[in-house]
């Protein structure tokens, strides 16, 4: 193994200090054959587990048939089939009417495209983003991202974003949407009328904060009254992660644009997309492009994932019962040690209130064969992102390992401080 010439920017490999070779479902296997239970799921990109056999079979068949691999934005059979499936299985049943834009296959690229289009449509440049939001690391997306670790080197270049407090940022008693509303409707507030408001319904990197439906509805109402577009960044919370396909279903809002990536292909293959209300599809041909926007392997697995998991509500129902179990077990565990949980759906965690503690627990989990990550401004939240397809037994097993690691860490405070 020769990793010494990989850049210092590498990160996860510092936490999960082994070399992985194979993976299946909720498990990853190292070169030496050690088995790991995966509560990270490619940061939410592997909602259907590693190497999901249904998708794998379809992909192997496609490759063996000589199916085209990459096609930029030419028409291909696999893209057409994906579009049809997305329309008939996802959009129409939800009475949603959107255009699909395939962007360069990163979440950041989808965000860049959405923001660019919003600015083009409105002729305005300001965009509203929220505290602890995470939207990517390219310059336009980074301007929307809150994290100073990512922003620092580029801070003087990150402009035309007005930052507002997310739901709950000032505690339960304060409706932070009041400030947004007041400043948007005060001609002397100094907040230039924005092109768009972008937000995650659950802040996956920012600490599993989630916005309530009433807060989001109020925000959407204020936006509409002021002719401002609403963009839901569903890159991490979408594709079922929150319990429904889109994270905002049943909230009573109709976003102007939706960004999707991560679990969209279902197999961890790079793919991203912007959903755009038809009347806002003001793009000129090729105005936002990117060589890899036609990843046909991803079109294939993405389509099969829709057909297999979202053709009826069997999968979602089963998922929601697992979510209830996850919430119940995690809350019990958290309260037992004086903590509380955060998040919703299959993106929940325990707020350990201390980044060093959370890191110590995470390291113990890994030593015990559990891959799990921390998040939040100071890395203080232990974040569970199991595959949506995980078995109850594996889920409970993982939670058990977390409890063991937490208990051991709390009983050895000296190590926790190390």
In the bound state with a second copy, the residue whose beta carbon lies nearer, of 175 and 400, is 175
In the bound state with a second copy, the residue whose beta carbon lies nearer, of 246 and 333, is 246
In the bound state with a second copy, the residue whose beta carbon lies nearer, of 264 and 416, is 264
Q: How far is the CB of 159 from a second copy (least distance, A)?
A: 3
* Residue 67 in contact with a second copy, rule: CB under 8 A: yes
In the bound state with a second copy, the residue whose beta carbon lies nearer, of 91 and 213, is 91
* Residue 19 in contact with a second copy, rule: CB under 8 A: yes
Q: Which residues pair with 340 in a beta bridge?
A: 351
Q: How far is the CB of 57 from a second copy (least distance, A)?
A: 10
* Residue 353 in contact with a second copy, rule: CB under 8 A: no
Cα gap 385→395, rounded to integer Å:
10
Parallel, antiparallel, or unpaired for β 229-233 and 196-199?
parallel
Question: Number of residues in contact with a second copy, rule: CB under 8 A?
Answer: 149
Taking each helix axis from N to C end, the angle separating 355-367 and 392-410, rounded to the nearest 10 degrees, works out to: 120
- Single out the residue of 20, 56, 11 nearest to residue 268, CA to CA: 56
State which of positions 191-210 bind a second copy (CB under 8 A).
191-193, 206-207
Rule CB under 8 A: choose which of 262, 322, 383, 401 binds a second copy: 262
Rule CB under 8 A: choose which of 54, 99, 217, 320 binds a second copy: 99
* Residue 393 in contact with a second copy, rule: CB under 8 A: no
Q: How far is the CB of 333 from a second copy (least distance, A)?
A: 25
Which residues, including other chains, have CB under 8 Å from residue 241's CB and lie 6 or more apart? 44, 47, 247, 263, 345, 346, 347, 385, 388
* Residue 238 in contact with a second copy, rule: CB under 8 A: no
End-to-end CA, the chain: 29
In the bound state with a second copy, the residue whose beta carbon lies nearer, of 2 and 411, is 2
In the bound state with a second copy, the residue whose beta carbon lies nearer, of 333 and 389, is 389
Q: How far is the CB of 335 from a second copy (least distance, A)?
A: 26
Three-state DSSP at 369 gives coil
State which of positions 138-167 bind a second copy (CB under 8 A).
138-141, 143-151, 153-163, 165
Cα torsion angle, 306, 308, 311, 313, sign: negative
Taking residue 94's Cβ as centre, other Cβ atoms within 10 Å add up to 12
State which of positions 277-336 bind a second copy (CB under 8 A).
278, 281-292, 295, 297
Please answer whether residues 242 and 202 qualify as being in contact, where contact means their C-beta atoms are separated by less than 8 angstroms: yes
Cα gap 271→307, rounded to integer Å:
17
Q: Which stretch binds a second copy (CB under 8 A): 42-50, 222-230, 245-253, 342-350?
A: 42-50
Rule CB under 8 A: choose which of 26, 89, 105, 326 binds a second copy: 105
Please answer whether residues 207 and 231 qualify as being in contact, where contact means their C-beta atoms are separated by less than 8 angstroms: no
Rule CB under 8 A: choose which of 39, 47, 107, 329 binds a second copy: 107
Cα gap 194→176, rounded to integer Å:
18
In the bound state with a second copy, the residue whose beta carbon lies nearer, of 240 and 333, is 240
* Residue 179 in contact with a second copy, rule: CB under 8 A: yes
Cα gap 416→34, rounded to integer Å:
26
Chain centroid to CA 170? 24
In the bound state with a second copy, the residue whose beta carbon lies nearer, of 165 and 369, is 165
Q: Which two structure tokens, joined as six digits, stand for 103?
A: 């962007």
Please answer whether residues 242 and 204 qualify as being in contact, where contact means their C-beta atoms are separated by less than 8 angstroms: no
In the bound state with a second copy, the residue whose beta carbon lies nearer, of 64 and 411, is 64
In the bound state with a second copy, the residue whose beta carbon lies nearer, of 349 and 406, is 349
- Single out the residue of 145, 149, 148, 147 nearest to residue 161, CA to CA: 145
Write phi, then psi, for 97 (nearest 5 degrees): -125, 105
* Residue 89 in contact with a second copy, rule: CB under 8 A: no
Cα torsion angle, 304, 305, 309, 311, sign: negative
Three-state DSSP at 192 gives coil
Cα torsion angle, 109, 111, 113, 116, sign: negative
In the bound state with a second copy, the residue whose beta carbon lies nearer, of 272 and 348, is 272
Q: Which stretch binds a second copy (CB under 8 A): 183-191, 219-227, 245-253, 393-401?
A: 183-191
State which of positions 115-134 bind a second copy (CB under 8 A).
116-117, 119-120, 124-126, 129-133
Q: Which stretch binds a second copy (CB under 8 A): 108-116, 317-325, 337-345, 385-393?
A: 108-116
């Amino acid at each position: 193994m020769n990793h010494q010439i990989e850049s210092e920017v590498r990160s996860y490999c510092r936490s999960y200090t082994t070399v992985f070779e194979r993976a299946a479902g909720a498990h990853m296997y190292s070169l030496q054959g050690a088995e790991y239970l995966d509560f990270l799921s490619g940061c939410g990109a592997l909602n259907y587990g590693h190497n999901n056999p249904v998708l794998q079979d379809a992909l192997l068949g496609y490759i063996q048939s000589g199916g085209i691999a990459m096609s930029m934005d030419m028409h291909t059979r696999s893209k057409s089939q994906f579009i049809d499936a997305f329309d008939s299985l996802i959009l129409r049943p939800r009475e949603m009417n959107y255009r699909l834009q395939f962007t360069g296959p990163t979440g950041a690229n989808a965000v860049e495209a959405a923001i660019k289009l919003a600015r083009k449509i409105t002729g305005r440049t300001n965009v509203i983003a929220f505290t602890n939001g995470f939207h990517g690391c390219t310059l336009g997306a980074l301007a929307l991202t809150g994290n100073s670790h990512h922003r620092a080197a580029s801070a003087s270049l990150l402009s035309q974003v007005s930052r507002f407090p997310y739901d709950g940022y000032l505690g339960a008693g304060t409706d932070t949407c009041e400030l947004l509303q007041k400043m948007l409707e005060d001609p002397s507030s100094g907040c230039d009328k924005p092109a768009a408001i972008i937000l995650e319904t659950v802040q996956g990197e920012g600490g599993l904060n989630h916005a309530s439906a009433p807060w989001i509805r109020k925000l959407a109402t204020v936006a509409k009254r002021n002719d401002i577009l609403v963009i839901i960044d569903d890159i991490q919370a979408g594709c079922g992660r929150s319990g429904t396909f889109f994270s905002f279903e049943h909230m009573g809002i109709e976003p102007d644009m939706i960004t999707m990536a991560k679990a969209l292909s279902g197999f961890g293959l790079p793919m991203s997309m912007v959903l755009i209300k038809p009347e806002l599809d003001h793009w000129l041909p090729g105005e936002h492009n990117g060589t890899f926007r036609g990843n046909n392997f991803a079109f294939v697995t993405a389509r099969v994932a829709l057909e297999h998991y979202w053709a009826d509500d069997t999968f979602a129902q089963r998922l929601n019962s697992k979510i209830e179990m996850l919430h119940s077990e995690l809350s019990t565990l958290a309260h037992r040690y004086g903590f509380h949980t955060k998040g919703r759906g299959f993106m929940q965690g325990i707020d350990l209130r201390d980044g060093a503690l959370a890191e110590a627990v995470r390291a113990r989990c890994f030593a015990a064969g559990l891959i799990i990550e921390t998040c939040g401004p100071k890395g203080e939240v232990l974040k569970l992102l199991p595959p949506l397809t995980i078995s109850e037994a594996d889920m409970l097993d993982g939670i058990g390992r977390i409890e063991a690691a937490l208990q051991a860490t709390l009983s050895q405070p000296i190590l926790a401080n190390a």
